[in-house]
Amino acid sequence: MAMVEIKDIKKTYHQGNVTVEALRGIDLTVDTGAFVALAGPSGSGKTTLLNIMGGLDLPDSGIVIVDNNEFSRMTQADLAALRLHKIGFVFQAYNLIPVLSAIENVEYVMLLQGVPATERHDRATAILDDVGLEGKYNRRPAELSGGQQQRVAVARAIVSGPAIVLADEPTANLDSKTGEGLLLMMKKMNKEKQVTFIFSTHDSMVIDYARRLVTIKDGRIVNDETK
Amino acid sequence: MLVRLAWRNIWRNPRRTLVILLAVIIGVWSMIFLGAILRGMEAEMLRNAMSNLTGSLQIHHRAYRDDPVVENSMADRDKLDRVLGISLGQGAHWTRRVRVMAVASNARHSGGVTLVGIEPEKEARISFIGSAMTAGRYLESGDKNQILVGRAFLATFNTKIGHKLILMSQDIHKEMASKAFRIVGVFSAESEAVEKQFVFVPLSQAAGMLKMGESISEISILLPDLDMTGTQETHMALKLTAAIADDTYCVETWQQLLPMMKAYLEMSGFFLYVWYGVVFVAMGFGIVNTTLMAIFERMREFGLMKALGMRPLQVVKGVVAEAFFLLVLGISVGNILGFLSVAAIARNGIDLSVLAAGAQMWGIPRKLYPEIWVQDLVVAGLVVLVLGVLVSVYPAVKAARFTPTQAMMKN
Ligand SMILES: Nc1ncnc2c1ncn2[C@@H]1O[C@H](COP(=O)(O)OP(=O)(O)OP(=O)(O)O)[C@@H](O)[C@H]1O
Ligand SMILES: [Mg+2]
């Protein structure tokens, strides 16, 4: 079954009188439970594609279907609800709300979902333990290392029980050892909970972990291999 | 947790927050403080006006106010006494007067005055005269040809205590009546005009001179509480009118007796609220500006929140909640400061006698005791809170409009 179906997506950015064709016709189907890497040089369109898959940005043309929801028919509020309940995000940096502690950041999404306070707390603690942050619940983002921050972000992306996690260069700011730890963690979630993962990366180590590698260049898919 | 989030966001930039807070506090404080001074001034002016022989209510012959001559007097004083005894509540005072235009003269000078016949003890509880003596003595029951005059009167008539004064007026049969009095006391008043205008004699002597018998010109009533809106007086006037049940008598409130005062009070209340508006506009610009600044700084965060699935309306609520907290905090502190500063000066009052000469003309009292009106507090608080929340909606909507990607791009 397909978690993500994308058909002939095009996206052009206009900035002043400069026009950038970020995506020039992307077709992609990602199955439920997949663990996919999007690779490609800088500026090839990876972030744009992930944003479109997450409903953060709209394509100029083409069809996006995530978990059987066709985006073009949805309002902003519908998209927000879909993100809240079905999609987890991990960004390259600045993932966390600075005034909230680690555990509050994780609880925040559940709060928006309307999960009761005690359950929120229990689930947040459990997931922070899972990502190896026991005892650091009450630290603010500024008091955590980059790797720890990314782990909080991953914990937050998963805790709400999403169908799919979209991660944009999750390891880019991390040293290779920390990055590998994070990948192992995501892989574990993928196996245990059948969460679909799509992440963009430049990192060859990350690419090695992926079961499927999609390579983009100049806004087009140039290679798609399943290992 | 959303409350906690808003609270923490407020304190992310303490300096900026303190600046807004300070603006709100000073604004609210100035509203309360100036409001209290204005209300104190109004109350004092009204008290002065009432004590200047007006009272809360007066009863006259129907024709007296248009034509204040002795013929238009009230004969049935016993009936009025009975009605007032029953209808007025606890703590109310009333007194009878004869009041007529007269000419006063001595060897050196003569001039028009208002001759007021009073019941000394009762009058003292109602009008200023009881506590206004600066020389000699007040009238006593049993006095016969004694008269009280104002300080400025002495100078004009070039006379002094112990000297004689002849008063002339038309009696009830339209004949000239005159009587010699001896000055026993001198009073001072808020204005020289009053000191020159009124002379006071015992009620019975005035009535005798004018051949009025038991008749009187007016009854002045003072209710125990000051009601600047005149509501209690209006109610009392209706009640008395019904109880007297005789349309030769006419009961009027201070609002009817002093139409200028009524108009002045209404206008000054209106200007107070205009002032609130002005203060708010200044404050409102500050609130919008600083909130906008705070929001542009946190653009990325709003993008993140929306990416996580926060709906635009929730973003608006969050930002408005922050403004709400700030406003509540500022209003509270502003209120506390307002109360403290008003309490501090209310103990001794503000001495305005420095401006007295000029101020008297406008009826501004020499000493001022600020007064806080609950109504003003509520209006000030609501103006700041409601309008403050409303103006914060603009930056909040701006925050909600950031699309997640736009916001996240701004690295
Ligand atoms: N909001 C935008 N406005 C204008 N141009 C944009 C915008 N977002 C992306 N682009 C352009 O679109 C192209 C694709 O950008 P995108 O961020 O998707 O690349 P990427 O593969 O994620 O690159 P990187 O590996 O450096 O993150 C680039 O040329 C970029 O400059
Ligand atoms: Mg990118």
Q: Write the pLDDT tens digit of every residue in B184-242.
A: 999 998 888 999 999 999 999 999 999 998 899 999 999 998 888 889 999 999 999 99
Tell me the per-residue pLDDT of B295-350, one tens digit each, with 9 for 90 and over: 888 888 888 888 898 888 888 998 999 999 999 999 999 999 999 999 988 887 77
Same domain, B94 and B217: yes
Closest-CA residue of B relative to A104 is B1
Same domain, B232 and B140: yes
- Taking the CA of residue B310 and the nearest CA in chain A, the distance in Å comes to 6
Is residue B32 within 8 Å of B334, Cβ to Cβ?
Answer: yes
Ligand approaching nearest to the C-alpha of A51 = 1
Contacts of residue B385, defined as CB under 8 A and 6 or more positions apart, other chains included, come to B324, B327, B328, B331
- Taking the CA of residue B37 and the nearest CA in chain A, the distance in Å comes to 44
* Cβ-Cβ contacts under 8 Å, B10 against chain A: none
Domain architecture of chain A: domains with CATH: 32-59+74-226 (3.40.50.300)
| Rounded Cα–Cα distance for residues A120 and A104 (Å) | 9
In angstroms, the Cα distances linking B11 to B4, B5, B189, B278 are 11, 10, 57, 28
CA–chain centroid gap for B103, Å, is 35
Same domain, B60 and B209: yes
* Cβ-Cβ contacts under 8 Å, B309 against chain A: 80-85, 87, 109, 112-113
Same domain, B399 and B274: yes
Helix (H) or strand (E) holding B122: helix B120-126
**pLDDT recorded at residue B347:** 82
Full domain range(s) for residue B68? 55-257
Q: Which amino acid is at B2?
A: L
Instruction: Choose, out of A14, A23, A56, the residue to mutate when testing the contact with B (most B CBs < 10 Å).
Output: A56
Give the three-state DSSP class for A181.
Answer: helix
CA–chain centroid gap for A215, Å, is 17
Secondary structure tally for chain A: helices H, strands E: 7, 10
pLDDT at B410 over 50: no
Give the three-state DSSP class for A16.
Answer: coil
- Residue predicted with more confidence, B290 or B118: B118
- Residue predicted with more confidence, A191 or A94: A191
Task: Say what the alpha-carbon torsion angle B144, B149, B154, B159 is, to the nearest 10 degrees.
Answer: 0
Tell me the per-residue pLDDT of A40-76, one tens digit each, with 9 for 90 and over: 999 999 999 999 999 988 899 999 999 999 999 898 8
Tell me the per-residue pLDDT of B65-90, one tens digit each, with 9 for 90 and over: 888 888 899 988 888 888 888 888 88
Q: Inter-chain contact A80–B309, Cβ cutoff 8 Å?
A: yes
| Rounded Cα–Cα distance for residues A115 and B134 (Å) | 80
Closest-CA residue of A relative to B408 is A94
- The per-residue pLDDT of chain B, averaged, comes to 88
Minimum CA distance residue for ligand 1 atom 3? A13
Residues of chain A that touch chain B, judged by Cβ-Cβ distance less than 8 Å: 51, 54, 56-57, 76-77, 80-85, 87, 89, 91, 93-95, 97-100, 104, 107-109, 111-113, 156
Verify whether ligand 1 is closer than 6 Å to residue A151 (CB atom): no
Domain edge (last residue) among B213, B233, B257: B257
Between A114-128, A182-196, B94-108, the lowest mean confidence (pLDDT) is in A182-196
Is residue B406 very low, low, confident or very high in pLDDT (cuts 50, 70, 90)? low
Q: Which atom of ligand 1 is nearest to the CA of A216?
A: 21
Same domain, B133 and B78: yes
Look up residue B371 and give its DSSP letter: -
Tell me the per-residue pLDDT of B152-188, one tens digit each, with 9 for 90 and over: 999 999 999 999 999 999 998 889 999 999 999 999 9
Domain edge (last residue) among B257, B288, B313: B257
| Rounded Cα–Cα distance for residues B374 and B378 (Å) | 6
Minimum CA distance residue for ligand 1 atom 22? A47
CA of A47 from ligand 1 middle (Å) equals 7
Is residue A49 within 8 Å of A218, Cβ to Cβ?
Answer: no
| Rounded Cα–Cα distance for residues B24 and B13 (Å) | 17
In angstroms, the Cα distances linking B329 to A170, B198, B396 are 41, 54, 19
Average pLDDT over residues A200-205: 87
The phi and psi torsions of B214 (rounded to 5 degrees) equal -90, -5
CA of A53 from ligand 1 middle (Å) equals 15
Minimum CA distance residue for ligand 1 atom 29? A43
Minimum CA distance residue for ligand 1 atom 28? A43
Angle at alpha carbon of residue A48, lines to A46 and A49, rounded to 5°? 65
Closest-CA residue of B relative to A108 is B1
> Which of A10, A48, A56 maximizes ligand 1 atoms within 8 Å of its Cβ, making it the mutation to test the pocket?
A48
Domain edge (last residue) among B257, B281, B314: B257
**pLDDT recorded at residue B111:** 94
Q: How many domains would you assign to chain B? A: 2
Closest alpha carbon to A55 in A73, A40, A43, A32: A73
Is residue A99 within 8 Å of B8, Cβ to Cβ?
Answer: yes
Same domain, B36 and B117: no
Same domain, B289 and B394: yes
ipTM: 0.88
| Rounded Cα–Cα distance for residues A209 and A24 (Å) | 28
Is residue B28 very low, low, confident or very high in pLDDT (cuts 50, 70, 90)? very high
Closest alpha carbon to A199 in A217, A20, A190: A190
Closest-CA residue of B relative to A13 is B406
Residue count (chain B): 411
Same domain, B228 and B321: no
Angle at alpha carbon of residue B240, lines to B234 and B243, rounded to 5°? 145
| Rounded Cα–Cα distance for residues B42 and B30 (Å) | 18
Average pLDDT over residues B263-272: 91
**pLDDT recorded at residue B407:** 64
**pLDDT recorded at residue B364:** 54
pLDDT at B411 over 50: no
| Rounded Cα–Cα distance for residues A204 and A172 (Å) | 11
Same domain, B108 and B251: yes
CA–chain centroid gap for B26, Å, is 25
Ligand approaching nearest to the C-alpha of A39 = 1
Q: Inter-chain contact B8–A100, Cβ cutoff 8 Å?
A: yes
Contacts of residue B194, defined as CB under 8 A and 6 or more positions apart, other chains included, come to B52, B150
Q: Between A91, A111, A112, which is nearest B408 by CB?
A: A91
Same domain, B305 and B327: yes
CA of A46 from ligand 1 middle (Å) equals 8
Same domain, B215 and B99: yes
**pLDDT recorded at residue A153:** 92
In angstroms, the Cα distances linking B210 to B79, B101, B177, B183, B254 are 22, 11, 6, 20, 28
**pLDDT recorded at residue A84:** 93
Verify whether ligand 1 is closer than 6 Å to residue A215 (CB atom): no
Q: Which atom of ligand 1 is nearest to the CA of A23?
A: 14
Secondary structure tally for chain B: helices H, strands E: 16, 12
Same domain, B61 and B36: no
Q: Match 């960004």 to its residue by tokens.
A: A91
- For the stretch B151-155, contacts whose Cβ atoms lie closer than 8 Å and that sit 24 or more positions apart, written own/partner, are B151/B186, B151/B187, B151/B188, B151/B195, B152/B192, B152/B195, B152/B196, B153/B113, B153/B195, B153/B196, B153/B199, B154/B183, B154/B186
Q: Which atom of ligand 1 is nearest to the CA of A11?
A: 12
Minimum CA distance residue for ligand 1 atom 6? A13
If one counts every other C-beta atom within 10 angstroms of the C-beta of residue B388, the result is 26
